Structures are given as C-alpha cells and as structure tokens.
Amino acid sequence: MLKHGTRFAVGFLTFLAAHAIERAEWHGWFHGEYEPWFLNAGRAVLFTVACVVVAGAVVAALTRSAPPVRGIAIGTGAFAAMTAVLFLKEGGPGTIFPIVLVAGGGLIFLGSAAGAWIGNRFGRLTRGNG
C-alpha cells in the first residue's frame, strides 16, 4: 500500500517530469509560441493533464484506499510542483499568478480525480470486485 506521502511524491514528480518534457519539446511537440509553461499551449495542457490522469490511475489501481484520497494526494503533489515551478521560474510568477494557480490547479485536480476513478474501476475489475 502506498502512503499519502508517496502519492504526494508521485504527483509532484509527475508534474516535474511533464514540465521538463514540455520545456525540451516546446516548439516541436507543443508548437508553443510563448514561454514554456503547460497553460501556454493547448497541447501542453492536454499532455500535463494526461500525465496526471495516468499517474492517478496507476496509483489507484495499485492501492485499495478510497479513490478520493488517492486523487487528492496525487493532485496536491502535482499542484505543489506547479506552484514551485511557477514561483521559481525566471522573472517570477507574473501578475496573473492567482488565475494561473486556480486554472492550473483545477485542471490538475480534475485530472487526478479522473485518474483515481479510472484506476479504482480497473483495480476492482482485476481483483474481481466488480
């Protein structure tokens, strides 16, 4: 069983990995016009949210605790990483950072909840619990 701290770390590392990939492939994969940041290109938004969904699904499929707990821990870790990257980037967070935190956090938490739900359903099917 994964503890909350481990789930938090999975979410944190998932966001950092997605962000690193986005920075490396910003113009090629994501066709980004502005600074590399997951909310600055639609493809980057989809990529980051998909990474969080997959992380949430894998963790949920491997554990038996209630799905919301898994999703919250993954989402909180990813949100913490998002906030750290935003505030530590060159030039600071910018003037619209409250909007970025709300919009980005909402997407991340929706992704982690969806992943937890998917993983829970998959885990129940593979364990024979319906």
Instruction: Select from 109, 3, 105 the least CA-distant residue to 59.
Output: 3
Domain count, the chain: 1
Chain position carrying tokens 């944190």: 12
List Cβ neighbours of 47 (8 Å cut-off, separation of 6 or more).
18, 21, 22, 29, 30, 38
Instruction: Identify residue 23 by its one-letter amino acid code.
Output: R
Structure token digits, residue 77: 């870790």
> How far apart are alpha carbons 92 and 84 in whole angstroms?
10
pLDDT, position 49: 97
Q: Digits of tens for pLDDT over the chain (130 positions)?
A: 467 788 999 999 999 999 999 999 998 988 878 888 899 989 999 999 999 999 999 998 888 666 566 689 999 999 999 999 999 988 889 899 999 999 999 999 999 999 999 988 887 676 665 5
> How far apart are alpha carbons 66 and 53 in whole angstroms?
16
Q: Which domain holds residue 111?
A: 4-127
pLDDT, position 68: 61
